[in-house]
Structure 1
Amino acid sequence: MPLGILDDSNLEHIPGTAPLNGLSNTDTYSGIDPGFLKRDQTGKIVLVPQPSDSPNDPYNWSRTKKELFTLTFAWGCGCVGAVGPLLGGAFVPLAAEFGVSLSTFVSAVQGGAIAAIAVGSLIFNSLAVKYGKRPVYLGTTVGLMVSCFWAAEAKSFESFVAARVFCGLCMAPMEALVPASIADIWFVHERGFRTAIFNLGVLGGINLAVPIAAAIIEYGSYRIALHGMGGAFALTLIMVFFWMPESAYTRKALNIDTGETTISVEEKATLEQLEHSPTNTREPTQSETPISWAKQLLPYSGYVNNVSLLNTLIRPFYLVASPAVLWAIILFTTCISWLVGVSLTLSQIFSAPPYNFSVVGVGATNLSSFVASFLGTLTAGPMIDGLVSKMSKMNGGIFEPEFRLPIMLTYLLFTSTGFFAWGQSSYAQDPWPVPVIVCLGLINFGVQLGTTGVVTYVVDCHREKAGEAFAAMNFIKNLFSFGLSFYINGWIENQGARNCFFTMGGITMGVTFFTIPMYIFGKRARSWVHRHGIADRL
């Protein structure tokens, strides 16, 4: 029972469980000679997953190449995070300009985009699994750029809504595929910080876009803001073209973390050759010509996965049967959807008495959220990766994905407290620093820590199916957010901010407690998923 996690006796090696700090104090991987395991430059940390000997393996890319890849998706995710709520601070005046009610404007413009993201998560994940991620990133970035210019020049409300829906469709890859890309190039002990950067990109873009766009809208027009956003995506396209090569790769290396060839204990005696026997621990070293830089710049690398496109479209729904993915869907859906709900109500709350904020003032409230998200990034990466390394050492050098989950305690404390305080301060009409600085700060700091824990846990449990897992997560999350956009403003109008945000705080507390059984039974759940082929039904 490693640190409170119930062990499993059905499989010899459980997918996700892997040696991280050596094998001297455990017999869990007794069939592996430690001398065969590749380690980091310090020689202390085992590389999980084990890289191949090929220079084209993304795990073997140079540190500079990996960091440029990370910088690119951070910027791209920031732009995608920004374009969603770009007009959030001006919902009230824009609804009046187009001659529709606030509820109609929000549900059509924001709700339509959110629903499109849900659909896009499934479509583009299928294409990425089949043909690789690079053409998907390039194509949708072009679509994002075009959609912003289209919306800026739209002459009617219908055209404006259509542009935003197309934009939502193209936003999906930067939300659903990036966690899988992180798993493609970064090792387990490095993913926490990069996942925190991914979350900062999305949340930071959401929080910075509104104040910047609000000032542009108030002193210029929303069309200028959308043209500027289109220019930002043009820069993203250049960065993706040069710094995000294809990361999909068919790897031949010692498998110590996915359990693809793991056998049942009952079957072990009947097999003549075992994956981890001393004679079969390494693939023969083969010379492979490095792919030239010019060839890496091609929009399509030629990668093809021999899997049905229809199967990849359906498979994310099978992954919902995985307890880890189901838990992540519940946590991810609530925490991100609540942020969407907050962004949809800022103009409603702060444009009214006693605050009477201008468009710029409403937008500026998001600066507190950005600072909190940034501080959460600085905290989440070292906290998650450091905690994983420490707990692995305490566990005899063996890493368990459940070591990612203790950070959810911070999500429970900060985010729940933030929602309760937000609801009470809005009801009491406290001075603006209380709801803006204290409450929004607590909510976003907790969300940054919590989402980093959720994303890294799913990647560690389902590394090879991370794209499908996040397609399912984003599909359900965006459908929930789509529904929320229809009633959140009316909810506050009819029952008040305190009732609304107290409910959010209570739900946040309730769903976070599911982390306790997930931590205790997570290893057995991973074994069950593997033994029943949940992720490979199609």
Structure 2
Amino acid sequence: MLVTDLYSPVQKTDIVLVPQPSNDPNDPLLWPTWKREASFAFLFFNCIIFAACPGPMIAPATVALAVQLQVPIKKVAELSGYQLLIVGALGPIVSVLAQKYGKRPQFLFAAFFGVIGTGICIAGFDQSSLKHSYVVLLAGRMVQGIGTTAFESLSVAAIGDMFFLHERGLRTALLVLTLACLSSFVAIIAGTGFEHLGARNLFVILLPIQIFGMLGVLFFMPESQFNRGVVAAPAPVSSSEAVRAKEKATNTHIDEATPNHANGTSSSIVKRGFLHDLRPATGETYNEQNMLKLLLEIFVHFLNPAVIWVMLVSAVLVSFFVGTAYTLAQIFTPPPYNLSVAQNGFFFTGALIGGILGVSAGPLCDFTARSLARRNKGVYEAEFRIPVCLFAVIVFAIGWFTWGWALDHPAHNRVYLCSFCYGAICFGTSVASTSGGLYILDAFKPHSTQIFILQMMIKNFIFYAFSTFINEFAAESGPGHMARVWGICTVCGFVTCVPMYVFGKVNRVWVYKMWSRYLSDAKEG
């Protein structure tokens, strides 16, 4: 597509809605505004309380909780590690079930188990022995992982079910901010809460909030999965420019206020009522393919070199940031820092600010892509999303290597520098993740959901792996050495951006040929 098309004058009658709504009044795209916004509000709320809250709740208290339960620090880290392992393992399964039977059953199931998991965690602190307390607490954290999976895997796709392309930008950014950055804010609150109320009461406070979220799913999040006929519409360069796409295949102009309903009128279709929407499942099958085949199709994408690159840039390298969180209380609780549990929580302020500033990565990627497209005679290529990673790796290098120096020269007042460096790493993480995600959306849009599920799975597996060794690694080799190792791995890993930029278009052509051949063989079979 020519980038100059994006700046041509657009009249209201030139607007084409993407995707095109059907003639069914039950189409989520045609829901009343209050219904769509209420559904999104509870989706956003539940992403906070079920996906963002449970993981970092005990991060600032890693050392204090290890003393309380009389277990090694590594065992406390594994309380979060096993939770993330469950999320990674169930992610592809939940995605396939959603494709087959809808998203509402998955959200209800997740909310219910999230509440149960928090209740088990509360019971873990009431056991007669510390050994039983740890085992029950571990079980509760794993059940909480079941409650996290659907909200981490399906939320962005649910936005696509209910909103047109030009309505998704802000809502998607809010969800990404929630899942990627709000954990730092939770850690700040949890640190103070643990110090004044104790670990048990943190879960006691969370429980009624999660119950409220579960009731929100039950009453205000009807099934958003919908089978609608495919109506031809031009594919825009990015979501923010979707409303600028001009219809060239037909002379029919579609007004935003009166969408074109294909294949007749909606008067013959009965509109579902509020009580009908309360059913746990609609009873419909949204995909006729075998579930095993749908599951295997997710893993076929590992044959795509671009997917391997995204896993490296947006999963492996950024996992160093999350994995290091397991060690923060271990580093800053002893002298010379002498931070309390609450102060360990406040250390995450740098990451919170870095994550918020990381929202600018989206406009930065758009600006870079438009600039390169102009230099390419107005022709846009998906690989124009990659060069912004150069900025990310510079910020990463500043963060990791400066942090390594500060940790090798410990002093109480250097904790502020360390927090700044951790925030820089969080910012670099946001930029790299945004760049990789936008590249996948632009280059492999039909398969983007499956690729993102793979990315989520790999990240959570790596997070679990870190929980099994990183505390011992930091203690034996020193936290400064650990930071330098992650910095060197990050800089070397981002070198792969060069061949990806050079050969990305060739790879895209090859991938589409392979998928076309696969779909052709599947249709004939």
Asked if TM exceeds 0.5, the reply is yes
Q: Does 1:196 align with 2:167?
A: no
SS in 2 for 1:121: helix
Q: Does 1:88 align with 2:59?
A: yes
Give the equivalent residue in structure 2 for 1:287.
265
Q: Does 1:115 align with 2:85?
A: yes
SS in 1 for 2:303: coil
Distance apart, 1:513 and its partner CA: 3.0
Distance 1:475 1:385, change over 3 A: same
Q: Residues 21 and 261 of structure 2 are in contact (CA less than 8 Å); yes or no, is this contact kept in structure 1?
A: no
- Could you tell me how far apart the structure 1 residues matched to 2:14 and 2:480 are? 51
Q: Does 1:234 align with 2:199?
A: no
Q: Residues 423 and 499 of structure 1 are in contact (CA less than 8 Å); yes or no, is this contact kept in structure 2?
A: yes
- Per-residue Cα deviation, 1:42-67 (whole angstroms, up to 9, x for no partner): 57776555555655554556666555
Correspondence list, 1:70-109, <5 A: 70-79=40-49, 80-107=51-78, 109=79
Amino acid of the residue matched to residue 424 of structure 1?
A: W
Give the equivalent residue in structure 1 for 2:434.
452
Amino acid of the residue matched to residue 505 of structure 1?
A: G
Q: Residues 193 and 381 of structure 1 are in contact (CA less than 8 Å); yes or no, is this contact kept in structure 2?
A: no
- Could you tell me how far apart the structure 2 residues matched to 1:296 and 1:134 are? 10
- Per-residue Cα deviation, 1:465-521 (whole angstroms, up to 9, x for no partner): 333222221222222221111111111111111211111122222222323333343
Distance 1:397 1:244, change over 3 A: farther
SS in 2 for 1:513: helix
Distance apart, 1:147 and its partner CA: 0.4
Q: Does 1:362 align with 2:332?
A: no
Distance 1:346 1:473, change over 3 A: same
- Could you tell me how far apart the structure 2 residues matched to 1:41 and 1:65 are? 29
Matching residue within 130, 149, 157 for 2:119: 149
Give the equivalent residue in structure 1 for 2:245.
none
**Cα RMSD over matched residues?**
3.5
Distance 1:279 1:148, change over 3 A: same
Q: Does 1:340 align with 2:285?
A: no
Give the equivalent residue in structure 2 for 1:178.
155
Correspondence list, 1:123-522, <5 A: 123-154=93-124, 155=127, 156=132, 157-185=134-162, 193-251=170-228, 252-254=230-232, 256-257=234-235, 285-288=263-266, 289=269, 291-292=271-272, 294=274, 295-304=276-285, 305-377=287-359, 379-385=360-366, 400-430=381-411, 431-522=413-504
Amino acid of the residue matched to residue 409 of structure 1?
A: L
- Could you tell me how far apart the structure 2 residues matched to 1:41 and 1:299 are? 43
Distance apart, 1:446 and its partner CA: 1.9
Q: Residues 406 and 418 of structure 2 are in contact (CA less than 8 Å); yes or no, is this contact kept in structure 1?
A: no
Q: Residues 91 and 457 of structure 2 are in contact (CA less than 8 Å); yes or no, is this contact kept in structure 1?
A: yes
SS in 2 for 1:89: coil
Amino acid of the residue matched to residue 105 of structure 1?
A: V
Distance 1:381 1:515, change over 3 A: same
Distance 1:84 1:182, change over 3 A: same
Identify the structure with bigger relative contact order (alpha carbons < 8 Å, sequence gap 6+). 1
Distance 1:400 1:338, change over 3 A: same
SS in 2 for 1:86: helix
Distance 1:22 1:210, change over 3 A: same
Distance apart, 1:371 and its partner CA: 2.1
- Per-residue Cα deviation, 1:240-271 (whole angstroms, up to 9, x for no partner): 3455443333332116559xxxxxxxxxxxxx
Amino acid of the residue matched to residue 87 of structure 2?
A: I
**TM-score after normalising by structure 1:** 0.80
Distance apart, 1:400 and its partner CA: 4.3
Q: Residues 312 and 468 of structure 1 are in contact (CA less than 8 Å); yes or no, is this contact kept in structure 2?
A: no
**TM-score after normalising by structure 2:** 0.82
Distance apart, 1:92 and its partner CA: 1.4
Amino acid of the residue matched to residue 457 of structure 1?
A: Y
Aligned residue pair count: 489
Q: Structure 1 stretches of 5 or more lacking a match?
A: 1-17, 26-38, 259-275
- Could you tell me how far apart the structure 1 residues matched to 2:100 and 2:366 are? 31
Q: Residues 196 and 452 of structure 1 are in contact (CA less than 8 Å); yes or no, is this contact kept in structure 2?
A: no
Name whichever structure is richer in helix by fraction: 2
- Could you tell me how far apart the structure 1 residues matched to 2:512 and 2:97 are? 25
- Could you tell me how far apart the structure 2 residues matched to 1:508 and 1:448 are? 14
Q: Structure 2 stretches of 5 or more lacking a match?
A: 237-247, 254-259
- Could you tell me how far apart the structure 1 residues matched to 2:27 and 2:443 are? 21
